[in-house]
Structures are given as C-alpha cells and as structure tokens.
C-alpha cells in the first residue's frame, strides 16, 4: 500500500508532479516580486540598494547620483510638511557632520522629497539649507522621484494618497550611506542621534 | 473680611493664569515646562514640544492648543513602525494623576501651520483641556537646528 498519496491515487509520480508544479509556481511568484518591486508593508523589495537617479536641486539644476564624485552620499527621503520626524533627522545629520570636522567634507547629505508637488526646487532647497548648508534638497518629476525611492527600497505614498490625506503621509525613514563608487555601505537606523550617526559615518568613510 | 479677600485673591490668580485666549483657570496641579518650537522656514510647518506633568488629584485631558505664532496649532504624533514613519492627528491626550506626557521628537508633537515665529524669541502657547480649562505657557523658538 502506498503512503503519502496525493489525490488518493497514483502515489509517488503524482506527488512529484505536484511538487514540481508547486515549485514552478513559487519561482514564478518570486520572479514577479523581484521584477516588479511589489510594495510590502513598510518596505519595498529591491535587489540592491541605490542606483542612478535624475533629480533637480534647490536651484533648479539637474543632478544625478554622479554629481558628487568622490563623495560618500547620505540619502534620506522625506517632505517639508513633516514637522517632527524629518526635521529631527535632518538636524541630527547636520550636527553629526559638524562633529566629523574635516572628514565631514567627504560626505554629501541629500534630502529627497517624496512630495514633489508641494516641494518645488525653491522650497526643498531652502528647507534643506535651514538645517545645514551642507544638505542638498532634491526634487523632480513624480516619475523620477518614484524611481529614486524604489532604487533605495523606500516606501513612498502615491500622489493620489498624498492629495487625499493632506498632511498625513507615510514614508520610509532610513538614511542610506553610499560609497563614492555608488555601492551601498549601510543604513543608519539611529537617525535622531548625532553621535551615533557620526560614529557610523566614520566607519563608512574608512571603507570608501 | 478674610474670606472675601481670599475669594478676590483667588479670582485674580485665576484670571492671571487664564490671561490667554480664554479666561478659564488652569487645571490644579498641572505644570507645563520645557516648551519649545522648531521653526524651519516660513513656508513649512513648525514642530512644538513640551513636558506636561499632572500632580493633581484627577486625570486631565489635553484637547488642543493655540498660539499667536501659529495660524493653526494641532496635536500630532509620529508613529514609527518597521522602516516607515507616519504622522497622525491626535484628538486628545489623557494624563492620569501623577503622570507625565512628553511631547518630544519622534513622538507626540504640536504642528504649527502658517507660522509667524522668530528664532531666538519666545512665544505664548495656550494648552486647552476638555473641561474648558487652559494653561498659558511660554515656548522658546529655535531655528531648524533646534539650538
């Protein structure tokens, strides 16, 4: 008598076929997820963190991920109508860079808006500079912003959701450290602690 | 007569305490300290923070705030979960007797819109409670760096 029959007949051959189909279905699903950056709760799956972007700085000049050659980039996403989380992180980043002294000159902090409709070049530029003259605020077309956020695995709300919710906007809060050659070094998680940020940056600079 | 005089004194104290938006007295035993606002640019909202201690005999429920430095001033809370932050409007915050609530970066905060704040100066802020009582306190205003 056969054990472990599937469907009550046929035994081993049926079971193998069943597992093959299951395996194929799983591979297809996984492939779909990787290919289309399915948005999960709180995170976007991306196979690598970072990648090319084309955005606009506070003076309206086009920039890309290669606009700061030789610098370690600090990439953070947020928006200006955020009165607590974004300012707290940006102030901490500014303070951390001041702590680094001359080493801080090797770091380029970027603040990329997730709300390009309200955060125009002038608005984002002035906002970022208010925290530190080192921080460059970036904006761009909705497509360019969405693309950049996906490259970093950062969840951002879609434009419709923004319009509907007014000021309640959910967005990924990581600060990403990128080496001068474009590869991902680390994500800073203690984003409100200047000492912790400075310490992580010193480590990162040693590896660049 | 001592009773009348102390009644007058109590009324004077109450009116001084309530000398903000309304004439309501402060809830007994409640103190507000370390109030400050982070002003960034005129075009964007400012964030406000403070510590409220309830040394009184009953719970108090904070329901709103107002200030001449803000067109609107609302209670908010940053919620962090997983890799994201979101901001929720808060209708009320109840502080039990003996309790403290901190409006601090990363958590509860005030959202000041249409801000008319001067970094380096101070601004009066009125906190309102559900029973109609208020506390008027003075907040320091900083620039974006919080210093």
User: Is residue B71 less than 8 Å (CB to CB) from chain A?
Assistant: no
Cross-chain CB nearest to B78 (options A85, A155, A167): A85
User: Is residue A130 less than 8 Å (CB to CB) from chain B?
Assistant: yes
For the segment B57-63, the average pLDDT, to the nearest whole number, is: 97
Higher pLDDT, B20 or A21: A21
Q: Under an 8 A CB cutoff, do B84 and A94 touch?
A: no
Cross-chain CB nearest to A87 (options B84, B86, B144): B144
What local confidence, expressed as pLDDT, does residue B25 receive?
87
Measure the CA dihedral B3/B6/B12/B15, to 10°.
Answer: -80
Q: Under an 8 A CB cutoff, do A192 and B106 touch?
A: yes
pLDDT > 90 in chain B, percent: 72
Q: Under an 8 A CB cutoff, do B41 and A126 touch?
A: yes
Q: Under an 8 A CB cutoff, do B84 and A172 touch?
A: yes
What local confidence, expressed as pLDDT, does residue A7 receive?
47
pLDDT > 70 in chain A, percent: 77
What local confidence, expressed as pLDDT, does residue B133 receive?
96
pLDDT at position B22 over 60: no
For the segment A192-203, the average pLDDT, to the nearest whole number, is: 93
pLDDT in tens, B86-105: 888 899 999 999 999 999 99
pLDDT in tens, A20-76: 888 777 666 665 544 444 434 455 556 688 999 999 999 999 999 999 999 999 999
pLDDT in tens, A188-197: 988 889 999 9
What local confidence, expressed as pLDDT, does residue A13 receive?
76
| Residue of B55, B52, B45, B100 whose CA lies nearest to B78 | B45
For the segment B70-92, the average pLDDT, to the nearest whole number, is: 88
pLDDT at position A8 over 80: no
CA B47/CA B89 separation, integer angstroms: 13
For the segment B72-84, the average pLDDT, to the nearest whole number, is: 87
pLDDT at position A143 over 70: yes
This prediction's pTM? 0.79
Cross-chain CB nearest to B44 (options A43, A127, A132): A127
pLDDT in tens, A102-123: 999 999 999 999 999 999 999 9
User: Is residue A167 less than 8 Å (CB to CB) from chain B?
Assistant: yes
For the segment A154-176, the average pLDDT, to the nearest whole number, is: 70
List of chain A residues whose C-beta atoms are within 8 Å of the C-beta of residue B47: 83-84, 87-88
In DSSP terms, which residues pair with B60 in a beta bridge?
B95
Residue whose entry in the numeric block shows the structure tokens 């970072």:
A50
| Exposure b/e, B135-144, CB count within 10 A at least 16 = b | bbbebebbbb
For the segment A126-135, the average pLDDT, to the nearest whole number, is: 97
| Residue A157 confidence class, pLDDT cut points 50, 70, 90 | confident
Token code pair at residue B72? 């609107």
Give yes or no for a contact between A65 and A54, defined as CB atoms under 8 angstroms apart. no
What local confidence, expressed as pLDDT, does residue B88 receive?
87
> Burial level of A114, CB count in 10 A (0-12/13-18/19+)?
buried
Cross-chain CB nearest to B40 (options A85, A127, A168): A127
ipTM: 0.81
What local confidence, expressed as pLDDT, does residue A30 receive?
60
Higher pLDDT, A27 or B135: B135
Q: Which of residues 40-99 of A touch B (CB under 8 A)?
A: 41-43, 80-85, 87-88, 90-91, 94-95
| Residue A166 confidence class, pLDDT cut points 50, 70, 90 | low
Q: Under an 8 A CB cutoff, do B38 and A87 touch?
A: yes
User: Is residue B119 less than 8 Å (CB to CB) from chain A?
Assistant: no
pLDDT at position B126 over 80: yes
* SS (HEC) of B39-88: CCCCCCCEEEEEEEEECCCCCEEEEEEECCCEEEEEEEEEEEECCEEEEE
Higher pLDDT, A55 or A15: A55
CA-to-CA dists, residue B20 to B7, B46, B85, B125, angstroms:
21, 21, 34, 8
Q: Chain B residue closest to A189 (CA)?
A: B83
Measure the CA dihedral B83/A84/A186/A69, to 10°.
Answer: 130
Mean pLDDT of chain B: 88
Q: Under an 8 A CB cutoff, do A170 and B83 touch?
A: no
| Residue of A66, A146, A159 whose CA lies nearest to A112 | A146
What local confidence, expressed as pLDDT, does residue A156 receive?
76
What local confidence, expressed as pLDDT, does residue B15 receive?
52
What local confidence, expressed as pLDDT, does residue A21 receive?
82
């Amino acid at each position: 008598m056969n054990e472990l029959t599937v469907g009550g007949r046929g035994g081993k051959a049926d079971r193998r076929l069943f597992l093959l189909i299951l395996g194929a279905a799983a591979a297809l699903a996984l492939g779909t997820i990787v290919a289309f950056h399915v948005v999960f709760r709180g995170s976007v799956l991306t196979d690598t963190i970072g990648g090319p972007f084309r955005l606009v700085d506070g003076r309206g000049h086009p920039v890309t991920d290669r606009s700061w050659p030789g610098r370690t980039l600090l990439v953070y996403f947020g928006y200006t109508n955020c009165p607590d989380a974004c300012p707290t992180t940006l102030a901490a980043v500014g303070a951390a860079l001041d702590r680094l002294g001359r080493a801080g000159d090797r770091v380029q902090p970027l603040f990329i808006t997730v709300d390009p409709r309200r955060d125009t070049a002038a608005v984002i530029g002035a906002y970022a500079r208010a925290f530190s003259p080192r921080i460059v605020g970036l904006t761009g077309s909705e497509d360019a912003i969405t693309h950049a956020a996906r490259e970093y695995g950062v969840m951002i709300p879609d434009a419709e959701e923004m319009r509907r919710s007014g000021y309640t906007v959910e967005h990924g809060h990581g600060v990403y450290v990128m080496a001068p050659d474009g590869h991902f070094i680390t994500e800073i998680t203690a984003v409100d602690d200047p000492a912790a940020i400075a310490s992580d940056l010193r480590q990162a600079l040693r590896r660049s | 007569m001592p009773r009348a005089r102390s009644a007058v004194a109590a009324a004077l104290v109450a009116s001084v305490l309530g000398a903000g938006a309304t004439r309501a007295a402060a809830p007994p035993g409640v103190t507000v300290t370390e109030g400050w606002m982070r002003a960034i640019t005129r075009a964007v909202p400012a964030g406000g923070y403070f510590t409220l201690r309830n040394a009184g005999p009953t719970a108090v429920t904070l329901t709103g705030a107002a200030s001449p430095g803000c067109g609107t001033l609302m209670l908010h809370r940053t919620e962090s979960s997983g890799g994201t932050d979101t901001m929720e409007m808060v209708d009320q915050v109840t502080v039990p007797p003996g309790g403290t609530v901190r409006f601090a970066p990363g958590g509860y905060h005030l959202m000041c819109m249409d801000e008319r704040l001067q970094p380096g100066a101070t601004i009066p802020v009125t906190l309102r409670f559900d029973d109609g009582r208020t506390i008027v306190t003075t907040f320091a205003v900083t620039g974006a760096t919080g210093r």
